[in-house]
Amino acid sequence: MASQLLTGKNGPSLRVALVHLYAGFVLFLLMGLLGLAMRLSHAQMLPLSPALYDEFFTLHGSGMIAAILLGAMGGIIAVLSSRTQLDVRLLWIGFVLYILGVGYIPIAVLLGGFAAGWTILYPLPVMYQAGWTPWSTFAFLLGYLFVALGFGVWCAAVLLALARLHGGVTRALAWPFVFSGGRVHNPQPLPYLQDIAAAVISLYGIFTVLVGAVYLIPLFGQNLSLSGTVNSLFMKNFVFLFGHNVVNLTIYLGAALVYATLPVYAGRPWKTSWLSAFGVNVLFVTLFFPYFHHLYQDFANTVPLHILGELGSYGTGIPALLVTVMGGLLLVYRAGLRWAVPSILILIGFWGWVFGGLGALVDGTIPVNQVYHNTMWVPAHFHTYYLLGAVAFVWAFLYHLAADLSGRRESRLSRAAAWLYGIGGAGFVLMFFIAGAAGMPRRYAVPVPGTGEEILSTIASVFVAVLGLALAWLTYDLLAQLKPAWQRTRERAVHS
């Protein structure tokens, strides 16, 4: 069976992509087990000490974000590799740095007892009376540093490839087209939407790595007793800008993979129009401003910044809804869509992205945030547009790539498993939303009486089991596809 992604020349790039995607998927499964353990703990079905619970949520949060970002990075490598040559050595260097970073995290958490949460809110990581050791903080920070470096190297490799493909970075961003109001079609042909998105994300990714450095350097300094304390509000702004960016870049990488994948199943092209090119470029602005919403309850951060946060939170959803989600639904409308695991997961992803986005919109409204901030509403909305949005998009692409390369046909059960992924995920996150409205705090090792958390976690655990069942089936498929897919990348012949 002919492959659409294999050109006969891009085997090495596809192998890097497969390694990124499969490593990310395995990490996602492991972190998912920790998530299940935490739900079972709140359901009083699995006794976890507060210390272990806190370690689990620290590991789960940081590990999940690393897993999905890694998978998404692999997806973009595969997408670009069929049209341009990537620097494979640079990509491997980035991967090694990234995995090194990922490796430090469980050492810090499980051996050193580090449990300050994935957001490492200053000065908690360097307050060792909280329950961890200085070396564990150092190992955790080292983990973040290497992950950020690995991501930065990936951004550089992708930018170089895009510049080569389109004759410069501004052309890859379609700026001549965008800034001429759509009159100047330069370069010709216009970059695909996934190329424009990858260029925006890579540039923004480099900015994000620098933001991370601003946060990490004072923490390293204090951890190593080289410097004193720094301003908490300054540090909070930077850590949330960093974390917000990383999560959102992952989501938009997932969207870029959708632009490349869904047309294959819909049999229609995803056109680069002026509106879509502009909508993707507007990410430079809409990615930045919403981060202020993380600091609504820090009244010292001044009212204009809170207002920017609220307006930014509202504004960020508009291009996502009108360009990607609506564009995707128009693409499949009366298209004779080929139902397959990737197309099902993408459609589930559209649902989850918007449904979770609505939760974010509600919480992004300052008076509502007064009663929802730091409750389970927060994990509710980001689990929705992550697990049922970005994650679904990334694993849709993984399945698409593995099936494309291996030539294996999926079964009806595989398609049922994809739908079960959505059902299990939706039931699971709905319990989070209810718990949030009931006032259950997030990052709380025990259920708070009167919030119904025990019963909600019991129901959530059942839905997570359904999700787990679906993932087990899809994992079986992916493992069966891995060997033939890998072997296929070693073929030299050019396929149509």
Partner 1 sequence: MNPWGPFVVFLVLGAAWTAVWGWATARSSGPSGSFDAVYAAGGILRRRLFYIIVAVLVVVFLVSIRYFPYRSLAEARLGVPTVHVTVTGKMWQWTLSQEEIPSGTPVEFEVTSIDVNHGFGIYGPSGHIVAQVQAMPGYTNRLVVRFAQPGQYLVRCLEFCGIPHIGMAAAFDVK
Interactions with partner 1, residue window 103-162 (CB under 8 A): 115-117, 121, 123-124, 127, 129-131
Minimum Å gap between C-beta 361 and partner 1 is: 8
Q: Is position 329 an interface residue for partner 1 (rule: CB under 8 A)?
A: yes
* 62 near partner 1 (CB under 8 A): no
CA pair distance 193, 174, nearest whole angstrom: 9
Tokens 């909600």, residue located: 456
Site for partner 1 in 255-274 (CB under 8 A): 266-268, 271
Binding test (CB under 8 A) with partner 1, winner from 98, 355, 428, 432: 355
State which of residues 135, 179, 207, 314 lies at the interface with partner 1 (CB under 8 A).
314
Nearest Cα to Cα of residue 345 among 440, 234, 471, 176: 471
Query: Which residue of 300, 492, 494, 496 would you call a contact of partner 1, by CB under 8 A?
Result: 300
Determine which residue in the list 86, 347, 420, 474 makes contact with partner 1, applying CB under 8 A.
Answer: 347
Task: Report how far apart, in Å, the C-alpha atoms of 417 and of each of 34, 344, 411 are.
Answer: 21, 10, 10
Cβ distance to partner 1 smaller for residue 23 or 219 = 219
Residue 51 found at the interface with partner 1 (CB under 8 A): yes
Quote the tokens at residue 138. Answer: 């150092």
Q: Which stretch binds partner 1 (CB under 8 A): 103-111, 149-157, 321-329, 390-398?
A: 321-329
**With respect to partner 1, which residue has the nearer C-beta, 80 or 387?**
387
Phi, psi of 202 (to 5 degrees): -65, -45
* Alpha carbon 189 to chain centroid, angstroms: 30
Q: Nearest CA to 363 among 372, 375, 376, 353?
A: 372
Q: How far apart are CA 101 and CA 109, in angstroms?
A: 13
Q: How far is the CB of 174 from partner 1 (least distance, A)?
A: 18
- Residue of 382, 395, 433, 473 that binds partner 1 (CB under 8 A): 433
| Residue 73 near residue 90, CB atoms below 8 Å | no
C-alpha–C-alpha distance, residues 387 and 28, integer Å: 10
Helix axes 11-42, 453-488, angle to 10 degrees: 160
Q: ∠382-304-313 over CA atoms, to 5°?
A: 25
DSSP at 410: P
Count of chain residues binding partner 1 (CB under 8 A)? 77
For residue 281, state whether it binds partner 1 (rule: CB under 8 A). no
Specify the DSSP element, H or E, that contains 244: helix 232-266
- Nearer residue to partner 1 within complex by CB, 92 or 314: 314
Least distance from partner 1 to the Cβ atom of residue 391, Å:
18
| Interface pick for partner 1 out of 213, 311, 416, 455 (rule CB under 8 A) | 311
Per CB under 8 A, 290 contacts partner 1 = no
Segment 204 to 233, residues that bind partner 1, using CB under 8 A: 231-233
375 touches partner 1 by CB under 8 A: yes
Question: Please, which of residues 6-25 interact with partner 1 by CB under 8 A?
Answer: none
Q: Read out DSSP for 326-363?
A: HHHHHHHTTS-----HHHHHHHHHHHHHHHHHHHHHHH
Single residue of 85, 365, 458, 475 touching partner 1 by CB under 8 A: 365
Q: Which is nearer to partner 1, 45 or 307 (CB)?
A: 307
The nearer residue to partner 1, 146 or 353, going by C-beta atoms, is 353
**Nearest to partner 1 of 229, 411 (CB atom):** 229
Interface mask toward partner 1 for 157-196; x: CB under 8 A: ----------------------------------------
Q: Which of 236, 293, 383, 400 is in the footprint of partner 1 by CB under 8 A?
A: 236
List % helix, strand, coil for the chain (3-state, nearest 5): 75, 0, 25
Intra-chain end-to-end CA distance of the chain, in Å: 10
Shortest approach of partner 1 to residue 332 CB, angstroms?
4
Q: Is 434 in the site for partner 1 (CB under 8 A)?
A: yes
Q: Which of 33, 224, 326, 480 binds partner 1 (CB under 8 A)?
A: 326
> Which token pair is 253?
């990488």
Torsion region of 113: left, alpha or beta (phi above 0 gives left; psi -120 to 50 gives alpha): left
Question: Least distance in Å: CB of 295 to partner 1?
Answer: 8
Q: Which stretch binds partner 1 (CB under 8 A): 9-17, 97-105, 244-252, 303-311?
A: 303-311
- Phi (first) and psi of residue 441, to 5 degrees: -65, 150
Q: Closer to partner 1 by CB, 57 or 486: give it.
A: 57
The answer to whether 325 and 303 have CB atoms below 8 angstroms apart is: no
User: What is the gyration radius of the CA atoms in the chain, in angstroms?
Assistant: 22
Q: How big is the chain, counted in residues?
A: 496
Find tokens 């509202």 and name the residue.
314
Does position 293 bind partner 1 by CB under 8 A?
no
- Asked if 238 is part of the footprint of partner 1 (rule: CB under 8 A), the reply reads no
